Amino acid sequence: MSYRPGLHLIATLHSAHATHLLRYEAFKNLLDALVVHHQLQALGHVYHNFTPAGFTAVVCLSESHLSIHTWPEHQKINLDIYLSNHERQNDGTVLALFEAVKTFFEATVVHQQNIVR
């Protein structure tokens, strides 16, 4: 099987919707549903709430990963989504995950990089 590069999306988002930036629990519910909906395979995850606010999350997927870090005091989100195209074409899934995250946080894009690798 030949190698097919996948889409790696790295973005900084801005959100005035502070309640979703404070703790990971609601985001975890969203991400769990997205993994099932897009038929991805989660291998493990780490979620951590910071004091007084903000969270980080990393989900390891057989297809690669999704990570996020929120900065409520700056209304900022750093996001990293990468899915390989080893067994199926996942570029559309990367974009769908990105749109779902933006919608969840009611966020606007400050900076976005799409890297094919």
30-69: string of b/e by CB count within 10 Å (b at 16+)?
Answer: bbeebbeebebeeeebebeeeeeebbebebebebbebbbb
Q: What is the pTM of this model?
A: 0.95
pLDDT exceeds 90 at position 48: yes
Q: With CA atoms as reference, report the closest residue to 54 among 72, 68, 41, 39.
A: 72
pLDDT exceeds 90 at position 1: no
Contacts of 3 (CB under 8 A, 6+ apart): none
Domains along the sequence of the chain with CATH: 7-116 (3.60.90.10)
According to DSSP, the residues that pair with 58 across neighbouring strands are 46, 67
